[in-house]
Amino acid sequence: MRLFAAVVPPDEVLDEVERAVAPYVGQVPGLRWPGRPTWHLTLAFYGEVPERALPDLETRLARAAHRHTVLDVALAGAGAFSSARRARVLWAGVTGDPLTRLADSARAAGRRAGAVQTDEKRFHPHLTLARARTDLDLRDLVESLAGFAGTPWQAERLQLFRSHTGPQVRYESLGEWALAPVKRD
């Protein structure tokens, strides 16, 4: 099973993103815009995980979620990997509370559960908007989306997804766990 842990923005936030990118969809040859059901903020990519590791991974992700409080975040701006001039991925950025500690916990849960950890790159929170098979110059597109500022929202849940690849990629939620509420004085 191909698995990853993620946070999914609420529908109203995704509505804003959809409106922001709508004028650009289909305008750059070679740039594929995956459907909205695939939009998420990846915290940990596990790659192929043996089925026997799933129960332990779920237990460890539940523990990780309960150790972290709800996060205040927003989607803002745009960028590209590896650079706007030589891009294969166009993304919306994330501002607010850093997701780094939660991502570190999700990665650690995978390692301890025996999930194959294939993504050891430095964590850079983002929402993937579009992909290309070859390097594209997306500087104009990144600049056009630079002013995007979404409504702040609370990341309240950590989710585990299974990725079904093929002509139409789809993600199946295998579990979700609430983050701890923020303690107010």
Domains annotated on the chain, with CATH:
2-178 (3.90.1140.10)
Structure tokens at 71: 């996060």
b/e map of 125-154 (b: 16 or more CB within 10 Å)? bbbbbbbbeeebebeebbebbeebebeebb
Catalytic residue positions, numbered: 40, 126
CB 138 within 8 Å of CB 84? yes
The whole-model pTM stands at 0.92
Residuewise pLDDT in 10s, the chain (185 residues): 999 999 999 999 999 999 999 999 999 999 999 888 999 999 999 999 999 999 999 999 999 999 999 999 999 999 999 999 999 999 999 999 889 999 999 999 999 998 866 566 788 999 999 999 999 999 999 999 999 999 999 999 999 999 998 778 889 999 999 999 977 66
Half-sphere exposure of 153 (CA within 13 A, CB side): 20
Report residue 163 CA to chain centroid gap.
Answer: 13
Question: Can you say whether residue 126 is alpha, beta or left, with left for phi > 0 and alpha for psi between -120 and 50 degrees?
Answer: beta
For residues 65 and 21, give the distance between their C-alpha atoms in angstroms, rounded to a whole number. Answer: 31
Instruction: List the one residue out of 33, 94, 1, 108 whose CA is nearest residue 63.
Output: 108
Beta bridge partners of 142: none
